[in-house]
Structure 1
Amino acid sequence: MSTDTFTADTAAPPSAAAVRAIEEAAHRARPISLAELNERSALLARFDRSYLVPTATFLRVIDRLTRPSHHGGPFRALTIDDRRAFRYHSVYYDTPDLRSFHDHRQGRRLRFKIRERLYADSGERQFEIKLKGGRGDTVKHRSPLTGTDTPLDDAPQAFLADTLRRAYAIAPPPVLRPSLSTDYLRSTFVADGRRITCDAGLVCVDLRTGRTVRCDSGLVLVETKSAEHLTEADRLLHAHRVRPAMFTKYCGALAVLRPALPANRWRRAAHRAFTSDGAGPP
C-alpha cells in the first residue's frame, strides 16, 4: 500500500482554528531539538491519555505549561529546521475481519495495532507496533522502512513476528490489509519524562470503502504521554472541565465510518470529534 504524502486535498484548511492554535502555541514556546527530546523524553513505554480540547481552552492550558517561569521548567516545542508543526501520514493494517479493532473493543490483554507512519516533512518512514504492557501502559516497537519497503514485505513481517512472540508468545496474523489512513498536523511539547502531542486537521480515510471523515476544525486532539498515571497537564485540563475521552484515531474513525460495527465505547467521543461543522461521512 502506498503511503502518499500529506496533500492539499486532505490537509485541513490553513484558516482552521485548531491548526492556527497549535502553530501559534508552538511558536510561542521555547524550542527543543529532536535529539534532546529523545534523550529527555523518548517514552516508548508510557501511559497515554486522550482529550478533545476546544481551541480556546487548549491555548490557555499550553500557555500555562510553556511559560518561562513555569515551576520545574517550561514545556518546550519540538523544533526541526525552524519548523514546529509537522505533517503525519499513517496507514493502519488489520486482518480482513478487523481483529485489532475488535481486540481493542473487547479490552483484550494481548492486543496490538500495526501501522506505517510517514513523517511527511522529512520523508522518514517507520513500521510501528503498539502493544499493551503489563501495567496497562502503551509499549511501542519501531523499525525503519526504506526505499520501496512496505509493512507487508518479509523484513517488516519478521520484525512483527519476533515482536509478538517476545511480548505475547503469539503468532502474527496470517493476513494483513491496509484498513485506515490518517493525515494531520502535529506540534509536540516536551518536559523531562513528559510529552504532550497536539493534533489538528485530522482526516481519516477508510481504505476498504473510500469513505472519509474530517475532525471538527475547532478541536485539538491532545494526548498526554508519561511514565506517570496523572500529570500536571492532565490536572490542568481537568480543572478546565475537559475530561479524558474514550478516543483513538483508528478505532474512533472506524466507529463513524462503519456504523454497523459494534463500537459503542468509542462512538460518543467519535461523533463529537468528527460530526461537527459537516465533518461526518459523505
Structure 2
Amino acid sequence: MKQSIPDIVKSLTSISLSDMEDVALMKRTDTKFVIHENQLISVLNAVKNAYHVLEIDGKRIMRYSSLYFDTANKKFYNDHHNGKVNRTKIRMRKYVDSDICFLEIKQKDGKGSTTKTRISIDDFEQDLSENSIGFINETTNSDFNLEPIIWNNFKRITLVNKVAKERLTIDLNLVFNKSGSFKSYNNLVIIEVKQERFSRSSPVVQQLKLKQINPYSISKYCIGMLSLYNDLKYNRFKKKLIRINKITA
C-alpha cells in the first residue's frame, strides 16, 4: 500500500507547543528548499527518527492563514526584488485550528539573519488598529502607510530536531487570494530549516543533498504577488517562477 504524508506524520513521536520553547529561534538563519509533494514521502521516511512532530489538540498538519501588508507602491516586494539586504515583511497570521492570531514583523539583515517580532491580536485587521500601528512603527522605526495586499492559506507540518537546536516547517497546499482572484500551488512543498546558524549536519539537509536538492531562496509573499499582480517587476524572480511552474506542472 502506498504511504501517504499523513500516515508518515502520524508515525512520528510528538512534541507539544510548550516543549518547543527552547527552539523558538526568533532570531535565526532560515534555509529554504522547494520540492514536489511526491518527493516529500521519501524525505520524511528518511528523517523521521531524527525529529519530533508538533501536535496541537490531536492535529499534526495545521492550517494557517496569512494577510500580508505593503505600501501602495509595494515597497516590501520591491525591496526583495531589488536585492536589498535589510528588508521588512509585515503580516497577520492566524493558526486556524487554534484560533490564535498574531501581527508579525520579519526583519532580515545583511548578514543573512532573520528577526521575527510579534504581538497577539484578536483577529485579522484589514484596517490596522492604533495598537498595531504603534507596534509596527516602534519595531521598524518607520511610519509606513500600509494596506492589506494579499491573502495566503496553506497547511504546515512542524518538525523539531531531537538533539540539535533546529526546527523545520513543511508548507503544502499553498493558495493565494486577492479580491476574489485565486492562485493555488497544490504540488509545491516549501521546506524551511530554521537554525541559529546554517549547519549541513542537519538530517533533512543531508537527505535533500542526497537527492541533489540544494537550498533555494524563495518568498511565499513574492510568489503570491507575482501570481496575482500584473504590474510588478519580476526579472530577478523569473528563474524562480520557471522552476516553481516546472515543479508544480
- Verify same fold: TM over 0.5: yes
Give, as a single letter, the amino acid of the residue that structure 2 aligns with 1:181.
W
Q: Does 1:221 align with 2:190?
A: yes
Whole-angstrom CA distance in 2 between matches of 1:31 and 1:151: 38
Q: Give the direction of change, closer, same or farther, for the CA distance of 1:267–1:206 in structure 2 (3 Å limit).
A: farther
Deviations along 1:60-113, one digit per CA (max 9) or x if unpaired, are 22222222xxxxxx2110001111010000000000110000011112233100
Give, as a single letter, the amino acid of the residue that structure 2 aligns with 1:152.
L
- Higher relative strand content: 2
User: Match of 1:135, SS?
Assistant: coil
Q: Does 1:199 align with 2:171?
A: yes
Report the count of equivalent residues.
Answer: 243
Counterpart among 153, 158, 162 of residue 188 in structure 1: 158
Match of 1:36 in 2: 19
Deviation at 1:276, TM superposition (A): 6.7
Counterpart among 241, 247, 251 of residue 212 in structure 2: 241
User: Match of 2:33, SS?
Assistant: strand
Match of 1:48 in 2: 30
Whole-angstrom CA distance in 1 between matches of 2:114 and 2:172: 22
Query: Given that residues 246 and 266 in structure 1 are in contact (C-alpha distance below 8 angstroms), is that contact kept between their aligned partners in structure 2?
Result: no
Give, as a single letter, the amino acid of the residue that structure 2 aligns with 1:37.
M
Q: Does 1:86 align with 2:62?
A: yes
Q: Percent identity?
A: 27
1:49-64 to 2 correspondence within 5 Å? Answer: 49-64=31-46
Give, as a single letter, the amino acid of the residue that structure 2 aligns with 1:98.
K
Whole-angstrom CA distance in 2 between matches of 1:92 and 1:138: 17
Whole-angstrom CA distance in 1 between matches of 2:205 and 2:244: 19
When structure 1 is superposed on structure 2, of 123-132 and 143-152 the one drifting more is 143-152
Whole-angstrom CA distance in 2 between matches of 1:253 and 1:99: 15
Deviation at 1:270, TM superposition (A): 3.1
Query: Given that residues 184 and 200 in structure 1 are in contact (C-alpha distance below 8 angstroms), is that contact kept between their aligned partners in structure 2?
Result: yes
Match of 2:80 in 1: 104
Deviations along 1:239-279, one digit per CA (max 9) or x if unpaired, are 2011222321100121232344212232333344357767x
Q: Give the direction of change, closer, same or farther, for the CA distance of 1:116–1:56 in structure 2 (3 Å limit).
A: same
Deviations along 1:133-168, one digit per CA (max 9) or x if unpaired, are 352111100000026766711111111111112xxx
Give, as a single letter, the amino acid of the residue that structure 1 aligns with 2:67.
V
User: Match of 1:131, SS?
Assistant: strand
User: Match of 2:86, SS?
Assistant: coil
Counterpart among 199, 217, 224 of residue 230 in structure 1: 199
Q: Does 1:176 align with 2:146?
A: yes
Query: Given that residues 65 and 154 in structure 2 are in contact (C-alpha distance below 8 angstroms), is that contact kept between their aligned partners in structure 1?
Result: yes
Consecutive unaligned residues of structure 2, counting only runs of 5 or more, are: none
Q: Does 1:144 align with 2:120?
A: yes
1:12-23 to 2 correspondence within 5 Å? Answer: 20-21=4-5, 23=6
User: Match of 2:209, SS?
Assistant: helix
Match of 1:25 in 2: 8
Q: Give the direction of change, closer, same or farther, for the CA distance of 1:274–1:185 in structure 2 (3 Å limit).
A: farther
Match of 2:182 in 1: 212
Whole-angstrom CA distance in 2 between matches of 1:64 and 1:37: 22
Match of 2:234 in 1: 263
Whole-angstrom CA distance in 2 between matches of 1:226 and 1:212: 33
Q: Give the direction of change, closer, same or farther, for the CA distance of 1:148–1:214 in structure 2 (3 Å limit).
A: closer
Deviation at 1:227, TM superposition (A): 1.2
Report the TM-score when normalising by structure 1.
0.79
Deviation at 1:117, TM superposition (A): 0.3
